[in-house]
Amino acid sequence: MIKKILIISSDNTGHGHKSITESLNEKFKQDTDIEVSVIDGFSLGGNFLMKIGKAYGPITRISENLWEMVFNFSAKNPELINSFIELQITKNFLKVLNDIKPDIILSVHPNFNGSILNILEKQNIKIPFFVLIADLVNISPLWADKRADYTISPTIEARDKCIGYGLPAEKIKVLGFPVRSRFFRGSTNKKISYSGGGPLKCLIMSGGEGSGNMLNIAEILLNDFDCHVKIVAGRNKKLKSILEESLLNKYGNKVEIFGFTENIQDLMFDSDIAFTRGSPNVMFEAISSNTPIIITGALPGQEEDNPNFAEKLNLGVICEGTSEIKLTISQLLENDAEKLKEIIDCQKNYIKPHVAEEIIEFLLNVENLSERKSRQLA
């Protein structure tokens, strides 16, 4: 019997929710007995809600302080946010349920947990509902709803935060952070750490929205080290233009500048070091590719403790400001790049390449158990 799974995700609030969904979907497609439908939760609310979702990119690029206000407001008023979203999406969501008739609903965006559970509860619709948390440490209360059948957490830290919000520990499963398979190096593509025999290969990126002080970072690297620098500006076309005007004439073929790219894994594989902000998706993709990361900042709210999370596990290092870049790189490279090699080894030991499969197995096992109990009660 074919299992129908409905995933509620988002295409426009960063790239992390979409990437997580893709990592699951590529595994779902290997099972012909599973039929998956993916819905952008914001699209359920029509143009008005879509505009709200699309505002994430401009807000996080232009004003981190404004984003912090938005995040804190939603964290302090989860019931208000849930009721507002519920009001916007009820009609279209019920139509989706009628069209798809899913056996399981999986939400990977916090705005569509309590709101959808409100709808299911009021309509007396019984469908197993799972939450997959897309953040690492700083978890919004919107992720934690006791009515969900299970909440799948990427880290112990996120689990503990949910418990603090009143979620029963037995309804939380810690399985790790799912990453698309193309970011894992195969046995024939092992990491060759920097040995000082050639230019240091550096990658500068900042998630799909392209925020951060990329220009200054690049100039410090190119002025102070023998290096080749690749920069990914993401969807930020203005930033890409500024970088091209400022760097290409001065540094020539020592620098390459990209917009939003689908082959970011190849850029990671070819790099000795990646500079990034504390985006969980970008961090875990770099860690999976076995590329040491230097974390240069994080969005306030859901990302603010991610740099410390990575440094504590020796998966990367924090660089508080551009004035520290020269010292940070020098320390990584001293003693035949001893520190760089330690980070590479810690990444290899930490990363789990089969998280997506384990999440899918857990979903199906819980759903099958629920079916058996229903038959027994009948």
pLDDT at residue 373 greater than cutoff 80: no
What is the C-alpha to C-alpha distance for residues 25 and 40, in angstroms, rounded to an integer? 14
Check whether 52 has a pLDDT greater than 50. Answer: yes
Please answer whether residues 120 and 97 qualify as being in contact, where contact means their C-beta atoms are separated by less than 8 angstroms: no
pTM of the model: 0.90
- pLDDT for residue 131: 98
> Could you tell me the strand order of the sheet in which 172-174 lies?
34-40, 3-9, 104-107, 129-132, 150-153, 172-174
CB atoms within 10 A of CB 258: 18
At residue 190, the 3 state secondary structure works out as coil
For the residues 367-376, what does the mean pLDDT come to? 56
Backbone angles phi, psi at 314, to 5 degrees: 60, 40
pLDDT tens, residue by residue, 185-205: 864 444 555 666 679 999 998
Residue 265 pLDDT class (50, 70, 90 cuts) = very high
Q: Is the pLDDT of residue 210 over 50?
A: no
Continuous segment of H or E residues that includes residue 293: strand 293-295
Residue owning tokens 């593509």: 189
User: To the nearest whole percent, how much of the chain has pLDDT over 70?
Assistant: 92
> How many angstroms separate the CA atoms of 225 and 201, rounded?
10
Is 77's pLDDT higher than 60? yes
Confirm if 20 and 108 have CB atoms less than 8 A apart.
yes
**Residue 95 reports pLDDT greater than 80:** yes
Of the listed ranges 72-86, 173-187, 208-222, 364-378, the least confidently predicted one is 364-378
Q: What is the pLDDT of residue 378?
A: 46
Domains annotated on the chain, with CATH: 3-179+353-377 (3.40.50.2000), 183-350 (3.40.50.2000)
Average pLDDT over residues 351-376: 79
Angle, to 10 degrees, between the axis of helix 325-350 and the axis of helix 214-224? 100
Q: Given a cut of 70, is residue 102 above it in pLDDT? A: yes
Unique residue bearing structure tokens 């330690």 = 342
∠ Cα 12 16 21 (to 5°): 95
Query: Could you give the dihedral angle defined by the CA atoms of residues 186, 189, 194 and 196, in that order, rounded to the nearest 10 degrees?
Result: 170
Residue 195: the pLDDT is 60
Tell me, what DSSP letter sits at residue 148?
Answer: S
pLDDT tens-digit map of 213-257: 889 999 999 999 999 999 998 877 888 899 999 999 999 999 999
CA dihedral 240, 218, 323, 316 (to 10 degrees): 100
What's the whole-number mean pLDDT along residues 257-268? 90
| Residue type present at position 218 | A
272-300 pLDDT, tens digit each:
999 998 999 999 999 999 999 999 988 88
- pLDDT, residue 297, reads 86
C-alpha distance from residue 133 to each of 173, 294, 351 (Å) = 11, 24, 18
pLDDT band, residue 328 (cuts 50/70/90): very high
Cα distances (Å, whole numbers) of residue 228 to 218, 250, 363 = 10, 13, 44
| Residue 301 clears pLDDT 90, i.e. is over it | no
Rg (CA), the chain: 22
